[in-house]
């Protein structure tokens, strides 16, 4: 089994539900406030570990109470944190999340997530990763460091999974180093300029990425499932019908579970089914890392579904 190595963000999430979003200058009541470990990188590493992968994290937290809690959470979920650094005089990353009408809006404070620079990340990769391992990253850390890590991982023979979230432009030479680009409709539209609506436009967006050298692409479509383009074949994976409690970290759960399944040698088709089930289970619970299901729960869910 290959390892899943994630370079990414760790945030303490402060999240609140509201029935109406405030206008400028207005105050509204919120409810169900929670403080819980998140960050796209941490969530994806936890999802990979919970789904059965050997999961290692490269990240940075501040020397503060949130930093210690973020590290403890990763350890408790089975992620190897040997290469998570703690920086003095830097606050840990934070995310301020409003849950509204089954969706969320997020404001980030990067803090220590921007502390690691490219040579530091690359030297850890050289130390811990082997050809055939999977490398997973997103765009909440320093962008230059992220691009350098994707390039290094690719040249080392790792299978690179890039989640360009929050959406930011990528240079062409980085696109060429991506084995699997995983993004949602909003991010796809931002990067391609193609409206992410309708089968024809989605097909054009997938092609746009492929002509830039990306080998495989998955666009997640919320409750419509995900469209997968793998080895030149396109297929749709329908979403599971579940009651939505909180969509935070659903996409991260999909990515981590997918990476775990691929790391066990499963096909893209089987892995996307597994990842879709994992994401469906995550949205049935509130919060980020605390909502991510384990391998047994995902397999049981798939089994029960096949009996229906």
Which residues are near ligand RIB by CB under 6 A? 9, 11, 13, 38-40, 43, 95, 106, 140, 248-249, 251-252, 288
52 vs 256, which CB is nearer to ligand RIB? 256
Alpha-carbon span 139 to 142, nearest angstrom: 7
**Measured from the CB of residue 290, what is the shortest distance to ligand RIB in angstroms?**
10
Give the tokens for residue 32: 């169900």
103 vs 305, which CB is nearer to ligand RIB? 103
Q: Nearest CA to 144 among 119, 181, 179, 125?
A: 119
Give the tokens for residue 297: 């729960």
106 vs 302, which CB is nearer to ligand RIB? 106
**Measured from the CB of residue 183, what is the shortest distance to ligand RIB in angstroms?**
12
Which residue lies nearest ligand RIB, judged by its C-beta? 38
Q: Are 113 and 40 in contact (CB under 8 A)?
A: no
**Measured from the CB of residue 13, what is the shortest distance to ligand RIB in angstroms?**
5
| Cis-peptide, bond into residue 230, ω within 30° of zero | no
122 vs 254, which CB is nearer to ligand RIB? 254
**Measured from the CB of residue 6, what is the shortest distance to ligand RIB in angstroms?**
13
The kind and range of the H/E element at 210 are: helix 199-211
| Dihedral of alpha carbons 42, 116, 125, 188, sign | positive
Alpha-carbon distance values, 165 to 25, 181, 182, 280 (Å): 29, 11, 9, 20
Give the tokens for residue 295: 């391998």
38 vs 62, which CB is nearer to ligand RIB? 38
Alpha-carbon span 204 to 189, nearest angstrom: 11
247 vs 300, which CB is nearer to ligand RIB? 247
**Rg for the chain, CA atoms, rounded:** 18
**Measured from the CB of residue 204, what is the shortest distance to ligand RIB in angstroms?**
26
- Judged by DSSP in three states, 35 sits in strand
Task: Tell me, yes or no, if 63 is annotated catalytic.
Answer: no
- Judged by DSSP in three states, 305 sits in helix
**Measured from the CB of residue 98, what is the shortest distance to ligand RIB in angstroms?**
12
HSE (CB half, 13 Å, CA atoms) of 41? Answer: 32
CA 131 to chain centre: 22
Residue of 72, 179, 252, 294 marked active site: 252
Residues with catalytic function: 252
């Amino acid at each position: 089994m290959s390892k899943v190595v994630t370079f990414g963000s760790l945030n303490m999430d402060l999240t609140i539900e509201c029935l109406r979003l405030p206008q400028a200058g207005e105050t509204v009541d919120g409810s169900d406030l929670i403080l819980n470990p998140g960050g796209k990188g941490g969530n994806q590493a936890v999802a990979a570990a919970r789904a059965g992968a050997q999961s290692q994290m490269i990240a940075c937290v501040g020397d503060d109470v949130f930093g210690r809690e973020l590290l403890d959470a990763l350890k408790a979920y089975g992620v190897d944190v040997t290469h998570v650094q703690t920086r003095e005089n830097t606050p840990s990353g934070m995310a301020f999340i409003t849950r509204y009408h089954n969706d969320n809006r997020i404001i980030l404070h990067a803090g220590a997530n921007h502390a690691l620079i490219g040579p530091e990340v690359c030297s850890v990769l050289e130390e811990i990763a082997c050809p055939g391992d999977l490398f997973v990253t997103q765009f909440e850390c320093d962008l230059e460091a992220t691009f350098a890590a994707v390039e290094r991982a690719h040249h080392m023979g790792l299978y690179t999974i890039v989640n360009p979230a929050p959406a930011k432009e990528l240079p062409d030479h980085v696109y060429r180093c991506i084995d699997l680009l995983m993004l949602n409709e909003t991010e796809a539209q931002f990067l391609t300029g193609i409206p992410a609506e309708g089968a024809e436009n989605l097909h054009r967006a997938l092609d746009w990425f492929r002509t830039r050298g990306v080998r495989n692409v998955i666009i997640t479509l919320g409750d419509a499932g995900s469209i997968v383009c793998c080895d030149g074949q396109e297929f749709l994976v329908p979403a599971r019908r579940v009651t939505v409690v909180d969509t935070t970290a659903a996409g991260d759960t999909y990515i981590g579970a997918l990476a775990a399944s691929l790391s066990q040698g499963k096909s893209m088709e089987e892995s996307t089914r597994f990842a879709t089930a994992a994401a469906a289970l995550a949205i049935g619970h509130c919060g980020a890392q605390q909502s991510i299901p384990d391998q047994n729960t995902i397999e049981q869910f798939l089994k029960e579904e096949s009996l229906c």
